[in-house]
Amino acid sequence: MVGGGQLARMTHEAGIPLGIRFRLLSGAPQDSAALVAHDVVVGDHRDLGTLREFARGCDVITFDHEHVPTEHLRALEADGVAVRPGPDALVHAQDKGVMRARLDGIGVPCPRHRVVRDPADTAAFAQEISSPGGDGPDGGTGSGTSVAGSGEGSGTAAQVPADGAFPVPVVLKTVRGGYDGKGVWVVRSRDEAAEPFKAGVPVLAEEKVDFARELAACVVRSPHGQAVAYPVVESVQVGGVCDTVIAPAPGLPGEEAVRAQELALRIADELGVVGHMAVELFETHDGRVLVNELAMRPHNSGHWTQDGAVTSQFANHLRAVLDLPLGDPRPRARWTVMANVLGGDYPDMYSAYRHCMARDPRLKIHMYGKDVKPGRKVGHVNTYGDDLDDVRERAAHAAGYLRGTITE
């Protein structure tokens, strides 16, 4: 597995009972997964020579992140390395522009979007999506949600007020490299739109969807085409970072859940995904879903499966990339809640860790072995049971106590 973060750490953990010999390419010897894996290569995942040397002797290579350059993955495939997911699939999780174009092409509902050149072009995009003659916000019909460029952005920019304020807010994203809210901006004027272009990389503009909540549909697919779908979950974000995941999503009608699962399975099939894929969704106030992001690896929205499903996302990711039969994705409890543990002001969590174990003997703690820094994901907790209020309270209390925001 390329990448030494907590996803690799937990994938190694899941591979032990499967009898899998796990080799890790880690950026540093103190990375989360490097602390617990036996066979650790320290090296740069952006260097093709390093990747080639690493892949020698591996049956399959897979990833803890999306940051390996697509051209390197193609070179490895050309060498005969089994790269899973392969570059033709993974590029859709690496490049948001490619992802949006492809999802449009297969009729998957997305927020309206187009690649924009500069603040003026962004202003034009804002005008286009607010125009009463065009599709209004949330007016996507499930296909062809891309907004055609307006030729010269400055041509339509004249329609916006002199202070550069947009008629509707716009979400700008760098097409590559963003995660956990990084590389994402919500802008309301030409002035605010300046920042995202400073890095000189392509920028995607999207409508800011007035969603009711965020959901995630996670699926796992094998090279031979077997696929399983986990229950659709609700993902609660705070400051652009996943805070809590509730499995299954409370109050989601069964037929809507099945539609979201089918959508994720269809995307996995159309894109040729191998391994775990999380499809992050916006649920609109009228019960439709729009695809927000794709991640082709184990994902934060699937951490609940470690304690809440028959087979965890990590075990199923390994089974998929090794083309083994997949495990049962069904839940083991009526409700499972995952809460992320973020670093707080105190670097030493030990006392809080002991407190949480003593307070709740059923609590499932998952620590990543990382140094604590404010706001950094350093672990998560899972709770499960029949009473959702109780299960949520236990998870939120433990995560808050570990962070230091709850002290009693």
Contact 337, 391 (CB under 8 A): yes
Four-residue CA torsion sign, 11, 266, 248, 210: positive
According to the binding rule CB under 8 A, does residue 221 interact with its own copies?
no
Smallest Cα–Cα separation from 106: which of 325, 257, 265, 321?
Answer: 265
According to the binding rule CB under 8 A, does residue 310 interact with its own copies?
yes
Name residue 334's beta-bridge partners.
none
Measured distance CA(304)–CA(233) in Å, rounded? 10
Output the CA–CA distances (angstroms, integers) from residue 227 to 15, 155, 267, 286, 295, in the order listed: 19, 48, 12, 29, 16
According to the binding rule CB under 8 A, does residue 251 interact with its own copies?
no
According to the binding rule CB under 8 A, does residue 364 interact with its own copies?
yes
Instruction: Report the residue from 7, 12, 111, 244 that binds its own copies according to the rule CB under 8 A.
Output: 12
In whole angstroms, the minimum distance from the beta carbon of 3 to its own copies comes to: 16
Measured distance CA(364)–CA(366) in Å, rounded? 7
Distance of alpha carbon 190 from the chain centroid: 29
According to the binding rule CB under 8 A, does residue 41 interact with its own copies?
no
Q: Which stretch binds its own copies (CB under 8 A): 52-60, 146-154, 284-292, 321-329?
A: 321-329
Instruction: Report the residue from 1, 2, 10, 320 that binds its own copies according to the rule CB under 8 A.
Output: 10
According to the binding rule CB under 8 A, does residue 368 interact with its own copies?
yes
Output the CA–CA distances (angstroms, integers) from residue 8 to 15, 61, 118, 302, 314, in the order listed: 10, 12, 37, 14, 9
According to the binding rule CB under 8 A, does residue 402 interact with its own copies?
no
Q: Which stretch binds its own copies (CB under 8 A): 121-129, 198-206, 256-264, 351-359?
A: 351-359
Four-residue CA torsion sign, 327, 330, 335, 337: positive
Smallest Cα–Cα separation from 72: which of 57, 98, 54, 97?
Answer: 54
Instruction: Report the residue from 186, 212, 238, 357 that binds its own copies according to the rule CB under 8 A.
Output: 357
Q: Is 79 helix (H, G, I), strand (E, B) or coil?
A: helix
Q: Is 209 annotated as a binding residue?
A: yes
Site for its own copies in 66-125 (CB under 8 A): none
Q: Is 98 annotated as a binding residue?
A: no
In whole angstroms, the minimum distance from the beta carbon of 387 to its own copies comes to: 16
In whole angstroms, the minimum distance from the beta carbon of 16 to its own copies comes to: 4
According to the binding rule CB under 8 A, does residue 366 interact with its own copies?
yes
In whole angstroms, the minimum distance from the beta carbon of 48 to its own copies comes to: 27
Instruction: Report the residue from 179, 185, 346, 353 that binds its own copies according to the rule CB under 8 A.
Output: 353
Q: Give 26's DSSP letter.
A: E
Which residues in this chain contact its own copies in the complex, by CB under 8 A? 9-10, 12-13, 16-19, 21-22, 34-38, 40, 306, 310-311, 319, 324-328, 332, 353-354, 357-358, 361-362, 364-369, 379
Which residue ranges are tagged as binding site for ATP?
96, 173, 206-209, 214, 292-293
